[in-house]
Structure 1
Amino acid sequence: MRISTQARPDTDPSGEFVRRTLEAQILQSLQELMSVEICDPDTQADRALPEDIELEVENLIAGNSSTLRVMWKRKLGQHRLWSNTRSLEVDCGPVFQGAGFQKLAFDSVEALRSQARKIWARPDPQCAADFLCLQAAERVFRMTPGSMLEADRLLARAYEIAPRGLYAAWRGFLRMMQVVEMHPVDFQQTADEATDFARHAMEDEAQNSYVCALAASVLLILEDSPHCSAQIAQDAVAINPANPLAWDALSTAAIYNGQPDKAHSYATRAQRIGGAGVTKPWLDMACCLTSVVTHNYPLAKEYARSSHILCPDFRPPLRYLLALAAHEGDQREGERFYDKLRVQEPNFCFERLVKDRDYPMAAFRKSGLSLDPRFF
């Protein structure tokens, strides 16, 4: 895929800096997620192909807000594929450091990835591999055992076509989820494979923020390495602050490092940036966890309910909704989530949730919340 940029320079130097920063973040994310060639707009003009794409970013300053407009167009014919205009407040620091700015960059990339599947009916091998990875990521966040297996098959095919650390990172991440979600797999073998994939991915694409974010999550959960994970997640955020999974990984590491307020700040930023796409159930659940460790239980319940509604087969929301119902002494509500969780985990018992330190309820344990194991 070839991408060129069409400059609409801002006469104000600070406005032009904001425009160029947004443009750079969009192109950074694209290069991390897809195999794209960034072309000089002048040299490409005489040899444009029908599938070539042009990015146009414009910034208009008005008072205390920055109005940013992003547009994707076909190079030939200038057919508009997608555009979005947003006004961002700049009262509390530089606009380019805000979550709204990073969300616009993220949304712009997701819009092009969605359009790309319609444009390239017969993609080249590398684009085909990228599309397989995109399909796999969508299936990962459906959270079911079947969708995880299907995602792994898609990623294996992608890697055969064009080996990339990104594909290996996703394979490690989904295995970590299989272990945490207690899917019917060999836990030790799956955990070993997950860490192998994560390490290989880091060796291959250490400057890819998505690789770093996915690997950080794997190493934190399966290797119990919160400080190492935090360092890798910090690198991911520094490389690409428009990557919600980077903020999510940093948030989880902060929970394990005893920094609940920072964890919640990072989680809410991740949710604001990427909380409108396929990752929303995952990011909502991350905000539930950080709300638990900051003792905001009503907010934790709201986030857990949202995650559960969007992804009924995702087990962590059920676990925390059950724990929160027990904390409130709501027997009826607790029984409802207990029964749902038993469908997912036939051997589940409430005493295990409360007492078993190997059961995946780390945020609950770190919050210091005390529950009566005889509640059920």
Structure 2
Amino acid sequence: MRDCAPLIRISVLGPLRVQSAEGLQVTPKGAKNQALLALLALSPEMARPRRWLEDKLWSTFGPEQASANLRQALSKLRTALGEDADALMADRSSVSLDVSRVTVDLHDDGLPLDLRTELLEGLDARDPEFEEWLRMERADLQARLSKATPKEAKGILINCRASAPDGGAGVIMADVLANQIGENIAEQIRAWRQANDPDCPADLPVSDLSLSCDIMKTSDGHTVFVKGMHLPTGRILHSKLQTIRHLEDILNPDEAMSRLVFEAADVIIGKLPQVLDSSRPESRATALSRLSMYRMFSFERNALREAYSLLRQAHELDGNGIYLAWSSMVRMIQLMELLEDDREALREEAIALNYRAMEESEGNALVQALISKVRGTAQRDAAGAFELAETAVTRNPASAFAWKSLAEANMMKGDVSAAFDASARARAIARSSPFKQWWDMGHCIIAIAGGRPQEAIEAGEAAARAAPLSRPAHRHLLALYALENQLDKAQATAVKLAKIEPGFTIDRIVNDENYPVRTLRNKGLLEPIRALL
């Protein structure tokens, strides 16, 4: 995965556009200068020999004049890039862009969904060699677009299988557990569960996934074995053993059983794009949404922008309301982290996405959990947020997302004790998630609100370990360390924040009323930081 540090973004789909690492528009002027940047951006490893570039842009000039023209164009490109000029590198033989600092929409965002999209629209460098290169690049893009034209999203078919040696209640409980995992998958992607029922006709369509659950009696209870397999290839995507004392624990799952269900669904979804046919829209949408979550939970400005773009593409491929709900959450993070200038526009869009998500995925517990946050924060509807969160937990008690939403809804109601308990449960269920920092950070804030600094530090440190560039984690740890008189740790955290957050100062976190540490400010926990001034 690409580092989440700010990146220069070059857009070649449509007219050429360049955005600096600071978010400024720095598209160079002049067709030749733009063409030079495009040639580098679309080249392997973003590098080309000088002579190759000269042949493409100044093919009718002599070698000396072409070389001089290239030097002049490079100078103008560096001027346009400003503080990011060192991302453009050149020596006596070659010119390149720093691949660790530059993203290109065609490569990083995937193929556009609109077949009418034109590569480098309107760019005319007035050189026959460049025109031929551009013609071939456009033809290649159109061929790839035609090949990848999405089909209708029919959904992933999941066959749920259950067995128990003593039959009866054991088989029923095994079937319940397999279906719980299947339901958790179906909340996050378009999927259908296929019953393993003898009354069904024998000529059922072949499933994509098999979810099997076997229950065995042991001397001290039962052992459950769950397995997820991609049927066409026989690849095992996930398997796990779990000991339970009573079969009824499946009906009223504790943290361990909930974690078994949540982890199985999460691992299987993460591996699905590797085994499903990539031409299927639900497969591509799943891959895009999964990547968006990695970007989203970095809490970085450019990464959040990319997450929103990926979710938009996922929804265009497969009109599933869950992608709108996640898009609404991205807008909420941007709003709360003060990452964009027009905060009112973010709030209005989050609310609009909220309503659309509900319309398209009514009854989806994950959608209800996600939009509960928006309902409470953006719309200031604490009662509505609690109702949605409570419904989500009732429908899916194995969802870490549902329990987190209930924790936040209880916070809005002022019931800090209930919020802490719900958050602790959510965190325990999501312990193995690659995005565990989402729950750790939420628990840190709730622990602060409940006057539990040690629990807050433990959760904040866990979030910082899982996401070292997470600004929220380090902001809250700074205040917590200062509160506990651990000034060396507080100072080290302030130094790290200054590296990962442009414009951060200790004075700002203490005195800027708009700085995103509302819980710390409301609890009067920012004052100890003054010892570092």
| TM-score for both structures, normalised by structure 1 | 0.89
Q: How does 1:10-159 map onto structure 2 within 5 Å?
A: 11=166, 15-41=170-196, 43=200, 46=203, 49=206, 52-62=208-218, 65-75=221-231, 80-89=236-245, 96-159=252-315
Give the greater-gyration-radius structure (CA): 2
Amino acid of the structure 2 residue aligned with 1:22? L
Work out whether residues 292 and 307 of structure 2, in 8 Å CA contact, stay in contact via their aligned partners in 1. Answer: yes
For structure 1, the 5+ residue unaligned runs are none
Aligned pair partner of 2:479 in 314, 318, 323: 323
Classify the secondary structure of the residue corresponding to 2:451.
coil
Shift of 1:275: 2.3
Query: How many Å separate the matches in 2 of 1:225 and 1:294?
Result: 22
Aligned pair partner of 1:248 in 393, 404, 412: 404
Work out whether residues 163 and 170 of structure 2, in 8 Å CA contact, stay in contact via their aligned partners in 1. Answer: no
Shift of 1:352: 5.1
| 1:48-100 C-alpha deviation (Å, 9 max, x unpaired) | 54x63221112234455442110123446865443111113569977732011
Percent identical across equivalent pairs? Answer: 25
Aligned residue in 1 for 2:163: 8
Shift of 1:10: 5.9
Query: How many Å separate the matches in 2 of 1:126 and 1:120?
Result: 9
> Structure 1 residues 357, 83: closer, same or farther in 2, change over 3 A?
same
Classify the secondary structure of the residue corresponding to 2:490.
helix
Query: Greater relative contact order: 1 or 2 (C-alpha under 8 angstroms, separation 6 or more)?
Result: 1
> Structure 1 residues 13, 39: closer, same or farther in 2, change over 3 A?
closer
Range with greater deviation from structure 2 (242-251 or 218-227): 218-227
Aligned residue in 1 for 2:496: 340
Runs of 4+ with deviation above 6 angstroms: 91-95
What root-mean-square deviation, in Å, do the aligned CA atoms of Structure 1 and Structure 2 show? 2.7
| 1:293-350 C-alpha deviation (Å, 9 max, x unpaired) | 2322122111111111221221211111111122123332222222333344444454
Aligned pair partner of 1:267 in 412, 423, 426: 423
For structure 2, the 5+ residue unaligned runs are 1-155
> Structure 1 residues 27, 101: closer, same or farther in 2, change over 3 A?
same
> Structure 1 residues 162, 64: closer, same or farther in 2, change over 3 A?
same
Aligned residue in 1 for 2:138: none
Aligned residue in 1 for 2:445: 289
Aligned residue in 2 for 1:203: 359
Work out whether residues 230 and 253 of structure 1, in 8 Å CA contact, stay in contact via their aligned partners in 2. Answer: yes
Shift of 1:365: 4.5
Amino acid of the structure 1 residue aligned with 2:158? I
Aligned residue in 1 for 2:64: none
Work out whether residues 175 and 193 of structure 1, in 8 Å CA contact, stay in contact via their aligned partners in 2. Answer: yes
Amino acid of the structure 2 residue aligned with 1:2? L
Instruction: Return the structure number with greater helix share.
Output: 1
Query: How many Å separate the matches in 2 of 1:119 and 1:93?
Result: 33
> Structure 1 residues 212, 219: closer, same or farther in 2, change over 3 A?
same
Query: How many Å separate the matches in 2 of 1:133 and 1:365?
Result: 34
Aligned residue in 2 for 1:371: 527
